[in-house]
Structure 1
Amino acid sequence: MAATILTEKITLNGTDVPTKQNSDGEVVAKEDSEWTDEEKKKVELNAKAINLMHYAISFEEFRKVSRCKTAKEIWDKLRLTHEGTKQMRETRIGMLMKEYEIFSMKEEESIDQIFERFRIIINNLDTMGRNYSEETLVRKILRSLTKKCKVKSTAISERNDLIKITYDELRGKLLAYETTHMS
């Protein structure tokens, strides 16, 4: 457990090759034989973290990070690759928020299709740190339905306490309605 926590810290904060100051006052890498037990452990954990990351990523991802020397370098490069810079991240969040706000069911769309399309938006927002409560998701879906589903939407809203119904329960109710009334 302690090794796992230390490995995580090394991945997020980095570890440096143990150094010393030589007789000229320059900072140089220590010889392996000069490392303390703690320095050896940190270098070993860094190597383990690098190994774990190499096993966990695809070959395409590996090519992006293969020249990195520390787990932190790998982590930072992968994070930048997938999340982008802070400005890119904020732009992406803005675009996803707009998708969420204008989301509505298309006339020819099935319940499965609307929930799949909505799930993609919600998962992307979750990944970017924007989370919504079950109640908010339920209300958004109910507001997004087409006229042919409004009867069921109204019935669900009136019959159920929208704080208690889950997103998955709503999906089930709408699928049942679609199967019996809209086929």
Structure 2
Amino acid sequence: MAAVPTRRRLLDAAVPLIVEAGWGGVSTRLVAERAGVAPGVVHYHFSSVTDLLTEAATEVTGRLLEEFARGLARQADLADGVRWMVAELGRYPGTDPASLLGVELYLAATRLPELRERLRGQVLGFRAAVAGWLRERGYAGDADAAAAVLAAALDGVVLHRAIDPGLDPDLLAGPLTALLGSR
């Protein structure tokens, strides 16, 4: 079996550290220890720990958003799509690694322009995919605005579930479907 390249080991080590320690708590030393390399190796592959964290985190979020968009594309109509989206949220109780990574990423993006732009590009791409899906399913309103509301609602549900574990995403399908004017 081939050895995992050092750069990949660093990226793979960074994501769980963001979840465990928070964006600001991750240091070069922590990543190097987790990856099993000397601290200087981190700066050989990345200009800063922020660059490493940005690449590692947005790699994960990009993959999650693409998977979500592909799943949505398989839904036949607006009501099915909304039900599918909220059912998918059941996988994210708000305290799981993916949810915590998202929270850390959004917070860090408020302070780091490069991260904000990368995340913005991902979010805009996801919203464009949702808007296209809405148009293909005959949505009569402003599909871009509706996609922005849906994306924000999905993020918000995950955030709310972190502080209210009893919040059942399935109960939200009705109100979200009504917002789209679909049954």
Range class of TM-score, shorter chain: under 0.3
Task: Name the structure, 1 or 2, with higher relative contact order (CA <8 Å, separation 6+).
Answer: 2
